[in-house]
């Protein structure tokens, strides 16, 4: 049987790890945390308030090796589109979350004002989705809005997409936070200019 390689990506705070844990347990897959692989293998670089740099080439090689040898996997991390190749990947789930909820989550995490702003701005612009489509191709990518949902609901939606059981194909590019934020007159709140 073909090995499962589910990728869960998206901005920090959208709900990747929480839903990945539920999914991995349900289908008895192993979770690989991409950040942990980088940290555990010295594939990281400069550390700043905004996060750490990674050695993309090294991380790519490390993950390739894991993909070759491991059983069913759920690969989790916002770096996924920069350190994985599309071959062998079953589905790339890009989790999205309303900037208003995301801001609350990241503040609660204790992120600095700048780090919250940078991450929320990135979510509004849909960078993770854009970069995922660019790397993996639109046929492998689906986006899931976690806003107002429970982790279990999100996990079930991703599982349905994985097993092709959903009624309609999950939407791609269907989420438009930019329009929402602009309509609410909140551009200045999220973008420094
Ligand atoms: N639908 C949802 N799916 C996943 N997590 C959610 C959802 N709704 C709220 N959360 C909460 O969001 C917070 C951030 O989730 P986490 O999994 O740590 O995000 P990430 O790994 O993307 O940084 C957690 O407290 C989690 O319980
Ligand atoms: Mg996480």
- Is the torsion defined by CA of 121, 124, 22, 152 positive or negative? positive
Please report, for residues 43, 93, 142, 173, 175, the alpha-carbon distance to residue 57 in angstroms, rounded to integers and kept in the order given: 9, 23, 26, 29, 31
Structure confidence by residue, pLDDT tens digits, 34-46: 999 999 999 998 8
CA of residue 58 to ligand 2 center, whole Å: 21
Which DSSP string corresponds to 90-144?
Answer: -EEEEEE--HHHHHHHHHHTT--HHHHHHHHHHHHHTHHHHHHHHHH-TTTEEEE
Residue 110: pLDDT band (50, 70, 90) is very high
Atom 27, ligand 1: residue with shortest CA distance: 18
Q: CA torsion 46→84→126→143, rounded to 10°?
A: -140
The pLDDT mean for the chain works out to 93
Asked whether the predicted pLDDT for residue 167 surpasses 70, the reply is no
Residue 49: pLDDT band (50, 70, 90) is confident
Residue 87: pLDDT band (50, 70, 90) is very high
Q: Which residues surround ligand 2, an ion (CB under 5 A)?
A: 17
Average pLDDT over residues 12-37: 97
Tell me what pLDDT residue 193 has.
61
CA of residue 15 to ligand 2 center, whole Å: 7
Residue 120: pLDDT band (50, 70, 90) is very high
Buried b (16+ CB within 10 A) or exposed e, 12-43: bbbbbebbbebbbeeeebebbbbbebbeeeeb
CA of residue 152 to ligand 1 center, whole Å: 10
CA of residue 168 to ligand 2 center, whole Å: 28
Q: Which residue has the higher pLDDT, 99 or 71?
A: 99
Atom 15, ligand 1: residue with shortest CA distance: 15
- The CATH class of 5-99+127-174 is alpha beta
User: Is the CB of residue 144 less than 8 Å from the CB of residue 156?
Assistant: no
Termini Cα distance of the chain: 52
Tell me what pLDDT residue 55 has.
93
Residue 101: pLDDT band (50, 70, 90) is very high
Average pLDDT over residues 73-88: 97
């Amino acid at each position: 049987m073909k090995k499962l390689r589910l990728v869960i990506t998206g901005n920090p705070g959208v709900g990747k790890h929480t839903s990945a844990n539920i999914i991995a347990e349900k289908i008895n897959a192993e979770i690989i945390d991409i950040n942990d692989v980088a940290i555990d293998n010295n594939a990281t670089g400069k550390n700043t308030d905004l996060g750490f740099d990674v050695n993309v080439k090294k991380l790519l090689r490390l993950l390739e090796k894991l993909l070759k040898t491991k059983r069913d996997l759920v690969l989790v991390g916002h770096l996924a589109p920069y350190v994985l190749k599309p071959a062998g990947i079953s589905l790339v789930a890009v989790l999205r979350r309303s900037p208003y909820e995301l801001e609350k989550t990241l503040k609660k995490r204790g992120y600095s004002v700048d780090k919250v702003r940078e991450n929320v701005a990135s979510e509004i612009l849909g960078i993770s989705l854009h970069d995922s489509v660019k790397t993996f191709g639109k046929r492998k990518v689906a986006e899931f809005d976690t806003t107002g949902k429970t982790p279990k609901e999100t996990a079930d939606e991703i599982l349905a997409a994985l097993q092709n059981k959903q009624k309609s194909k999950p939407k791609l590019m269907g989420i438009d936070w930019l329009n929402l934020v602009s309509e609410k007159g909140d551009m200045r709140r999220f973008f420094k200019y």
